Copies of this chain bind each other. A is one copy, B any other.
């Protein structure tokens, strides 16, 4: 393992010059620059992150907090974050916050304090004041994906706006009896995404002068199987079946489509369905949806974080836009034909 001294010797300069040439901090003559570069490559020299981190206080490593990994949204955001960070020469260290409070505390009281990371990206985890405080105290920049997080630059979609748009799409097609598949208590933690999406749905109905019918609203855990089951109950009920359904996620929307099919209904003829996400599977089901691009959200979060690390303007709360993607799962209601 070649050290900085070896490089200095081979290049015929001092270790300070090597450090400067390789890090780009401070000025170095072109000649020295080249000599160092050559020597480093030849010797296969790579700085030791521990030594560099100890001396400079910078680790070139970012901590990413996620509640789960095995889920389309989180995995996508993570991919966006890690690929962008890698481009910038940063490493990505992953901290999975389970429901376990003890473990969560351990992450904040041990893992994040051991100075392994320069900054933190929190993906859909609602940090409490104390947690934010402890990060600020360490002078670690923090950016949130999903928010808001008081005093923290965050990046988030407009959940209410998204579901209002989805609902309006259905209304504009002529639907009046519109069902809703949202979250359950378990999923309505952190930023209460399910609640916001429900609110947007209700606002859109309200604005259109449509009465809200609680019997048309069911909850699930954002997975296809639970939504399938919930939709079956909803659609199987002979009394006042909806002509359209909005689901708070595409996976749930797909579950609903499958439930409808299993009940012998045709989508969109007998039932229009709209989701939220533009999931990888949506196109195959012809699902109309509101797109949010988690991969891009991850990349954007990195951009915001790097600005913060470099001490540039904070670039506070930032809304990520969404767009309606119309496919073949929505149409006018039969009776309006």
Report which A residues bind B (CB closer than 8 A): 1, 44, 46-51, 53-54, 59, 61, 68-72, 75-76, 78-79, 82-83, 86, 89, 91-96, 98, 103, 106-107, 109-111, 113-116, 138, 223-225, 228, 255, 258, 261, 280-281, 283-284
- Separation of A54 and B116 alpha carbons in the complex (Å): 12
Once the chains bind, are A225 and B284 in contact (CB under 8 Å)? yes
Tell whether A225 pairs with B75 under 8 Å between CB atoms, given A94-B94, A114-B46, A116-B91. no
Once the chains bind, are B93 and A92 in contact (CB under 8 Å)? yes
What are 12 A-B contacts with C-beta separation under 8 Å? A49-B50, A50-B53, A61-B93, A69-B78, A69-B79, A70-B72, A82-B94, A82-B95, A86-B95, A89-B110, A92-B94, A255-B284
Q: Report the minimum CB–CB distance from A114 to chain B (whole Å).
A: 4
Tell whether A76 pairs with B82 under 8 Å between CB atoms, given A50-B54, A54-B51, A59-B50. no
Tell whether A49 pairs with B116 under 8 Å between CB atoms, given A78-B69, A93-B93, A281-B225. yes
Which chain B residue has the least Cβ–Cβ distance from A91?
B93
Copies of this protein, total:
2
Scoring A53, A78, A228 by chain B CB atoms within 10 A of each residue's CB, the highest score goes to: A53
Contact of A61 among B72, B86, B116 (CB under 8 A): B116
- Separation of A225 and B103 alpha carbons in the complex (Å): 38
Q: Report the minimum CB–CB distance from A121 to chain B (whole Å).
A: 13
Contact of A79 among B70, B115, B138, B223 (CB under 8 A): B70
Contact of A113 among B46, B61, B116, B225 (CB under 8 A): B46
Q: Which 4 A-B pairs have the closest CB atoms?
A: A50-B53, A70-B75, A50-B54, A46-B113
Which chain B residue has the least Cβ–Cβ distance from A1?
B138
Contact of A75 among B69, B91, B110 (CB under 8 A): B69
